[in-house]
Amino acid sequence: VAKTDNEFLVVLSGGMDSTALLYSLKATGARVEAVSFDYGQRHKMELACATFICQHAGIEHRIIDITSVGKAIAGVSALLPGNNDIPVPHGHYAADNMAITVVPNRNAIMTNIAAGIAWAHDLNTVAIGIHKGDWAQYPDCTPEFVVAMNTLLGVATENRVQLVAPFVNITKAEIVAVGEKVNTPWALTQTCYEGTRIACGRCGTCVERIEAFDLAGVVDPMEYAPGGVGYAREVVKA
Ligand SMILES: [Zn+2]
Distance CA 186, CA 177 (A): 12
Query: How many CB atoms lie under 10 A from the CB of residue 91?
Result: 13
Provide the pLDDT for residue 1.
Answer: 43
Provide the pLDDT for residue 90.
Answer: 72
Provide the pLDDT for residue 2.
Answer: 47
Provide the pLDDT for residue 98.
Answer: 65
Provide the pLDDT for residue 56.
Answer: 97
For residue 19, give Cα distances in angstroms to 191, 229, 237: 11, 23, 24
> What's the gap in Å between 63 CA and the centre of ligand 1?
23
> What's the gap in Å between 54 CA and the centre of ligand 1?
23
pLDDT along the chain (238 residues), means of 10: 71 97 97 95 87 98 93 74 70 62 86 98 97 88 97 97 97 98 96 86 90 95 85 61
Q: What are phi and psi of 125, to 5 degrees?
A: -140, 130
Provide the pLDDT for residue 3.
Answer: 42
> What's the gap in Å between 49 CA and the centre of ligand 1?
16
> What's the gap in Å between 22 CA and the centre of ligand 1?
23
Quick check: 53 and 204 in contact, CB under 8 A? Answer: no
SS3 at position 61: strand
Residues, Cβ < 5 Å to ion ligand 1: 192, 194, 199-200, 203, 206
Q: Closest by alpha carbon to 80, among 90, 91, 89, 69?
A: 69
Q: Closest by alpha carbon to 113, among 37, 21, 18, 6?
A: 37
Question: Do β-strands 61-65 and 31-38 pair in parallel, antiparallel, or remain unpaired?
Answer: parallel
Provide the pLDDT for residue 235.
Answer: 57
Provide the pLDDT for residue 6.
Answer: 82
For residue 59, give Cα distances in angstroms to 23, 66, 96, 114: 11, 22, 38, 16
> What's the gap in Å between 40 CA and the centre of ligand 1?
18
| pTM for the model | 0.89
